[in-house]
Amino acid sequence: MSYQHLLVAVDLSEECTPVLQRAQELARSTQARLSIVHIIEPMAMAFGGDVPMDLTLIQQQQFEQAEAALAKLAEQYPEVSKEQRHLIFGQPRQEIHGLATEQGCDLIVVGSHGRHGLALLLGSTANDVLHGAPCDVLAVRLNPPT
């Protein structure tokens, strides 16, 4: 059984290139669709949801910057149409799972730093996405094992 629709989660850092390249190779070899998602974590969330100021303008700027970065990145992947680029406000795990279900994706691709010890306890997005995922998850290793 080959995959039909891959969803690549990107943090828009330089590190998302190897993740996207791996997903692209896989999508090409299985003739699957390729979609990309970036989640913008609302600033209020970082402060526990209780901020005594209006963050609307800052969030709008955050959205515009992410939109431009995502568009620039997607230029390198012609198989990803505009409709297959997603930018969502929220919590990464929840939004990535929700989008994968909504779009009928059968593989989520994320980058993984292969953290261990305390860093692992503090959590990683790859770990978070794996738990309760609605489909398979591929964690692309981002740094060589030490």
The DSSP H or E segment spanning 111 is strand 107-112
When the beta carbons of 18 and 104 are compared against ligand AMP, the nearer one is 18
Site string for ligand AMP, 23-62 (x = CB under 6 A): --------------xxx-----------------------
When the beta carbons of 30 and 127 are compared against ligand AMP, the nearer one is 127
The DSSP H or E segment spanning 138 is strand 136-141
Smallest distance, ligand AMP to C-beta of residue 75, A:
18
Check residue 11 for interaction with ligand AMP (CB under 6 A): yes
In this structure, are residues 39 and 90 in contact, taking their beta carbons and an 8 Å threshold?
yes
CA distance 17 to 130: 20
Looking at residues 103 to 132 of the shown chain, list those that interact with ligand AMP (rule: CB under 6 A).
110-111, 113, 124-126
- β-sheet bridge partners, residue 9: 37
Instruction: Give residue for tokens 């929700």.
Output: 98
Q: What's the maximum distance between 2 C-alpha atoms anywhere in the chain?
A: 52
Site string for ligand AMP, 78-97 (x = CB under 6 A): --------------x-----
DSSP states of 94-111? HHHHHHHHHHT-SEEEEE
When the beta carbons of 1 and 115 are compared against ligand AMP, the nearer one is 115
Smallest distance, ligand AMP to C-beta of residue 67, A:
13
CA distance 105 to 134: 9
Task: Kindly list the residues in this chain that would bind ligand AMP in the complex (CB under 6 A).
Answer: 9-11, 15-16, 19, 37-39, 92, 110-111, 113, 124-126
